[in-house]
Amino acid sequence: MTSLAELQARFQRHIVHDDQAVTSDISGPDDAYRQERLLIYYRAYRLRLIAALAVDYPVLKAFVDEQRFEELATAYIEARPSMVRNLRWFGDSMSSFLHYDPRFSDEPILAELAEFEWAQGLAFDASDAAQLGFDELASVPAEHWPQLHFVAHPSLQLVTLQWNVIAIWHAHRDNKTLPPATLQEPDGTIAVWRKDYKTYFRTLDRDEAWLWRTLAAGTAFSEACSRFATKMGMDEAGAAQRAAQLLHTWVEEGWIQGFEILSDD
Amino acid sequence: MHFQNLGFGLGLRTTHYEEILASRPCVDWFEALSENYMVRGGKPLHYLERIRADYPVVLHGVSLSIGSTDPLDLEYLKALKALADRIQPAWVSDHLCWTGVARQNIHDLLPLPYTPEAVDHVASRIVQVQEFLRRPILIENVSSYVNFSQSEMTEWEFINEVAKRADCLLLLDVNNVYVSGFNHGFDPHEFIDALPAERIQQIHLAGHSNCGSHIIDTHDAPVIDKVWKLYSYTIEALGPVATMIERDDHIPDLATLVSELDQARKVARNATRIAASA
């Protein structure tokens, strides 16, 4: 290791682990002065990352309050040190951290709040892509519909929530007192997506969630409709009608980037 | 190689996107933080491209980590090059610092020891980056709170040596010179006088937080009088240089920043006059 590499390793160990070995590398009249100056970097590291997490997770922060958010963010910073160049991605594993860390896992709503807020961020700056229009869909010849595969818009995220995350999110947006955590029965699938540079979300009906997941997994439209009928206990015509209605909604909302017509062979 | 003097610019901040497009403020150019636009799509790139259609834009990064002893991050450089190809900035800049080792990112602009070893290391990496990006880059002096006992030269000697060896341009942050001068007890005028004037392509101005025993470079307040005076001194010495005001926290409305930028125009105009009559 070169002396520059060794010095940088010592300096970083101070910032991350409060290791004082680097003190003797710093110029200054005494150790108190050196430590005071080093403390600026030690503190700035945590403050900057906590501030970045607060930008990513404003509702989580409001739900747990300022002081607990600082504890939570500090625990995250220690457990998942940043390995990313762009601060944008530092908070990426907050939901899984809150889900598995014993200090927070007994409050499962925290992980769900984080998952929902992160999904909004993913939708916000996901890749740009076209959004399928009705004219384009109408131009598909009838004989090609059995082989029609839809491609989801890259901004679309699905999140499954067991807790009243959406009610908390709305209360936060409206500057109202946040409700306490409540388990929802049954759980809900939420879609988050972007259209015209604006991020939207809504709760899916259960049959809608099933059909969308089936199509998004790559099942051709007619095959999905057939399985949809069996799954929902509907006749083929009723299932096709409901599927067509849902497809209309999805196209309108911009969930579909386009389609592919794949032959069976 | 010098680029054209762009005049007086502001940092591009998300809260001002709509107003910039609607009111076309009297700002000559904008400086965009590279990493904010190294994303896949959506609003940030949409607005940057629209603003770029009306204004010159420069890219300013915080994550190049040119001084780190980790290998250069090729993925980061590829993303930066792709952004530069897309936006066609007037120039690209980053800081004379390191941001982490062992693949960890501290997300801070960490100081270097001013040693021949660090000069060799940093200069050779700037050369590699310039070759990769196929353009000269600007390297900015950072504010610092510690000096290393290993240092064998002053900060300005270090910058001179790096710039000469790498044949790069410089972004002179006048506020950072003031902050580091206060923190380390050197005369900021000596720093300015010693820099290679021909390499200074851009100037940064910003506010800071004075904590009594030291100053922290917070970019959250207006430029203070002493920094305006140092800026005037700099322009007297260098002549007109593209200048911009950085505000990263407590961001005021656009009109307030445009008015602070007018102050920069006034100070620069007077300084140029003083220099001409001297």
Residues A36, A155 share a domain? no
Domain hosting residue B123, numbered range: 8-277
Q: Which residues of B touch A14 (CB under 8 A)?
A: none
Mean pLDDT, contiguous 10-residue spans, chain A (265 residues)? 91 97 96 97 97 98 97 98 95 98 97 98 96 92 89 96 97 98 91 96 96 93 92 91 95 95 70
Q: Number of folded domains in chain A?
A: 2
Closest CA of chain A from B99, distance in Å: 9
Last residue of a domain, one of A55, A90, A125: A90
Last residue of a domain, one of A90, A119, A140: A90
In a domain, B120, yes or no: yes
Structure tokens at B216: 């922290």
A222-252 in b/e form (b: 16+ CB < 10 A) is eebbbebbeeeebeeeebbebbeebbeebbe
Residue A95 lies in a domain: no
Among B107, B142, B35, B38, CA closest to A51: B107
Residue A62 lies in a domain: yes
Quote the minimal CA–CA distance from A13 to chain B in Å.
Answer: 10
Question: B212 at the A interface (CB within 8 A)?
Answer: no
pLDDT digits (tens, 9 = 90+) for A222-236: 899 999 999 999 998
User: What residue has token string 């799509």?
Assistant: B41
Are A59 and A153 in a shared domain?
no
Chain A's closest residue to B122, CA to CA, is: A4
Residues A117, A64, single domain; the answer is: no
For residue A195, the chain B residue with the least C-alpha distance is B42
Domain contains B83: yes
Can you give the C-alpha Rg of chain A in angstroms? Answer: 25
Task: For residue B155, tell me if it sits in a domain.
Answer: yes
Are residue A163 and residue A212 in the same domain, yes or no? yes
Assigned domain for A59 exists: yes
Specify if B233 maps to a domain: yes
Given A62, A90, A118, the domain boundary residue is A90
Instruction: Give the model confidence (pLDDT) of A131-168 as tens digits.
Output: 999 999 999 998 898 889 999 999 999 999 999 999 99
**Domain assignment of residue A97, yes or no:** no
**Do A216 and A189 share a structural domain?**
yes
Q: Does residue B2 sit within a domain? A: no
What value does the mean pLDDT take over residues B95-115? 98
pLDDT digits (tens, 9 = 90+) for B206-260: 999 999 999 999 888 999 999 999 999 999 999 999 999 999 889 999 999 999 9
Contact call for B40 and A154, based on CB within 8 A: yes
Q: Does residue A180 fall inside a structural domain?
A: yes
Per-residue pLDDT tens digits for A120-131: 999 999 999 999
How many distinct structural domains can be found in chain B?
A: 1
Closest in B42, B101, B118 to A12, CB measured: B101
CATH code of the domain covering residue B81:
3.20.20.150
Outline where A125-203 has alpha helix (H).
Answer: 134-138, 165-173
By C-alpha distance, the chain A residue nearest B69 is A5
Do A135 and A83 sit in the same domain of this protein?
A: no
**Closest-CA distance of chain A to residue B48, Å:** 13
The ipTM value here is 0.96
Q: Which residue has the tokens 């996901």?
A: A126
> Does one domain contain both A9 and A138?
no
- Helices marked H in chain A — which ranges? 3-17, 31-56, 58-64, 66-79, 94-100, 108-124, 134-138, 165-173, 206-216, 221-232, 236-253
Classified as helix, coil or strand, B225 is: helix
Kindly report the nearest CA distance between residue B80 and chain A, in angstroms: 11
Do residues A50 and A126 both lie within one domain?
no
* Residues A129 and A236 reside in one and the same domain: yes
- Residue among B90, B83, B77 nearest B30 (CA): B90
A15 touches chain B (CB under 8 A): yes
- Clarify whether residues A122 and A245 are in a common domain: yes
Asked if residue A232 and residue A117 are part of one domain, the reply reads yes
Contact B8, B243 (CB under 8 A): yes
Domain hosting A117: range is: 107-265
Say yes or no: A248 and A133 in one domain: yes
